[in-house]
Amino acid sequence: MEQNEPIADFYEKHVGGAGKEGVSCPFCKSRGLQAGRLVIVLNRESFFHGYFRCSNSCVPGGFPLWYAELSSLSRAEVPGYVAEADGAISYQEFPVANINDEIASYHDRLGGAELPFFKKKKVAKAILNELQIGFNGRYIVYPYIQEDGNCYSARCVYPEKKDDYFWQGDERYTDVPYTLFNRAELQHCEQGTLFVCDEEDSLLTIKQLGFPAVAVPHHSHLEKLPVELFDGIKTVFVAVSNSSEASKSSYAFASKIGFKARILGWPATTPKGYSFWQLAQDSGKDLGKRVGAMVQGSRSFSPFTSPKREYSHFLQELKGQHEPAYKNIVSGFPLLDVALGGVHGINIIGGGPKVGKSTFTIQIAAQMAAQKIPVLYYDFENGRQKIYQRTLSRLSRVATSELHGAEAGTEKHKRLGAAKNNLERMLFYWRVLNDRKITPELMRKHIEFIRHETRSEYTVVVIDSLHKLPFHQFSEQRTGIDAWLRQMESMRDELKVSFLVISELSRGAGDSYEHTPHLGAFKGSGDIEYSADNAMILFPTSSGSLAANNHERKNSLWLVASREHTPGRIAEYSLDYPFWGFEEHPLGDVGDDRIVL
């Protein structure tokens, strides 16, 4: 025994020579048993430092606070005890009726000899007695004893057929939070370590090795367990079967209780669905060694990516930004792409009514699709047919009014035929959606689908417009817009999505659209300032509507805010009338910085 170590000193004082051969269990005699040997773990490096158990299993094993209770000692004598951490002992109100008598009769049916079912797995009778496991003549009966010491429900499982089971007793106690088998172990392991297993038979394997454990009847109960149950436990080993479903449940559970959880991982060669119960049968004398290796190999659950993995991910992302798939996400307007470094992140473009925002973004979306970049275009302004017509007009240089009137054999007819073929190929990468019930969850599904179908790592999402997105439970438009922007940030970071989002501008003095180009010109959302990687404003440098026959009309595009790039005027864009497109030009004289719409 280590000297001058608090836990060792505690046991030395109250047991005397604990940890040495031949130390008698102080609890056996009072239970009418010949004294067994008391084993205490005094290795400070062990997760089970301070754990004691009797070789006769006369009492459940546990940690110093449980020893103090069994010995009628003051909890204040236990090293590390904090009185403030104790809550008043108050059980919830349980019903008067219970099934204690039935459980006792089922346990008696195990008889003087253990069932072959348990013998095969080398489960000691003392463990079956401790847990009051019984047999009703056909099914193994696992009693779910509650915190008041009574049993109100039991799970009856046919041996070796886990799917053949039923619950006996009060049905109110057949679901979380009452479905924790061997619940009393929570008290025994206060300030110590505990295993949490899926299914009762796995718990028997862990108990046979001398470890304390609780279990749920199925892994799906794990993630629903109240985290408060484990407040007094320092370390929780999560031991579940080798399946993807059980693994997901274990991670959901671990994420709730935090760093104290350590998930036991199975070796890569382990068969799917393999359990600790099967491991016990297959391992023989090596069971302890194999489970011990899993314990040593476990890692404390962390909400953070490991530094090694984080650095590897950083290098991978850095490398990806220099690969063609990333560099090719461009608008097709050279000056705009130079100003922004391509279309990456969340790009918001504002402008007054009829300034040409939709035409501008339709052209960018079509040019991306032509370069085999997957684009989702959420349209709440024009309708799918108009978008396709205007794109066909721009590609063929045939006015929309003449799309059905081009005579066969003419040059115009040939251009139109080639443009139709191009549009058909583009639509594999370009999906226009008019769903006014779109949700962030549905948008994620759309993104995942088009990424899978096009075999592309990146996706571009165009939204026309931000102010016409459905806001569902939000009563105020601004609240709804800000919520959507939060979702876009998440999709940008998690799914490698770039956004091009149209926004309206707010009216200025005199109910006009006259602004100095700045973030305050955007309508209805202060969060654009924080969410946008690039915020731009498109405005005409001459009057006239988009539909007017104005061959001289030009628009300027301003970058008013950016995380990476210098704000300022980007370029001028002249209307390619009547073909629903813009042509990009270098800036002329800058002149007045005011925007008049």
Claim to verify: residue 464 and residue 582 sit in the same structural domain: yes
**Which of 303, 294, 306 is CA-nearest to residue 268?**
294
Q: Is residue 577 situated within a structural domain?
A: yes
Residue where a domain terminates, one of 248, 281, 297: 297
Distance between CA atoms of 472 and 437, rounded to whole angstroms? Answer: 8
| Lowest-pLDDT range of 433-437, 461-465, 534-538 | 433-437
Is a pLDDT exceeding 80 seen at residue 515?
A: no
Residue 539: the pLDDT is 83
Distance between CA atoms of 182 and 145, rounded to whole angstroms? Answer: 7
Distance between CA atoms of 498 and 451, rounded to whole angstroms? Answer: 13
Claim to verify: residue 252 and residue 147 sit in the same structural domain: yes
Claim to verify: residue 409 and residue 287 sit in the same structural domain: no
Is a pLDDT exceeding 90 seen at residue 553?
A: no
pLDDT digits (tens, 9 = 90+) for 186-201: 999 999 999 999 999 9
Number of structural domains, the chain? 3
Q: Is residue 319 situated within a structural domain?
A: no
Q: How many CB atoms lie within 10 A of CB 248?
A: 15
Is a pLDDT exceeding 70 seen at residue 263?
A: yes
Contact 262, 235 (CB under 8 A): yes
Claim to verify: residue 59 and residue 15 sit in the same structural domain: yes
Residue 161: the pLDDT is 87
Claim to verify: residue 73 and residue 171 sit in the same structural domain: no
Claim to verify: residue 80 and residue 216 sit in the same structural domain: no
Calculate what percentage of the chain has a pLDDT beyond 70: 89
Question: What does the angle CA 41 – CA 192 – CA 220 come to, to the nearest 5 degrees?
Answer: 125
Domain range for 547: 324-596
Work out the average pLDDT over 152-177: 93
Distance between CA atoms of 12 and 40, rounded to whole angstroms? Answer: 11
pTM, two decimals, is: 0.58
Claim to verify: residue 38 and residue 128 sit in the same structural domain: no
Q: Is residue 331 situated within a structural domain?
A: yes
Residue 353: the pLDDT is 85
Question: What does the angle CA 455 – CA 461 – CA 465 come to, to the nearest 5 degrees?
Answer: 160
Claim to verify: residue 394 and residue 258 sit in the same structural domain: no
Claim to verify: residue 531 and residue 390 sit in the same structural domain: yes
pLDDT digits (tens, 9 = 90+) for 320-365: 888 998 999 999 999 999 999 999 999 999 988 888 999 999 999 9
Claim to verify: residue 219 and residue 267 sit in the same structural domain: yes
Q: Is residue 310 situated within a structural domain?
A: no
Q: Is the peptide bond before 241 cis (omega within 30 degrees of 0)?
A: no
Q: What is the CATH number of the domain that holds 439?
A: 3.40.50.300
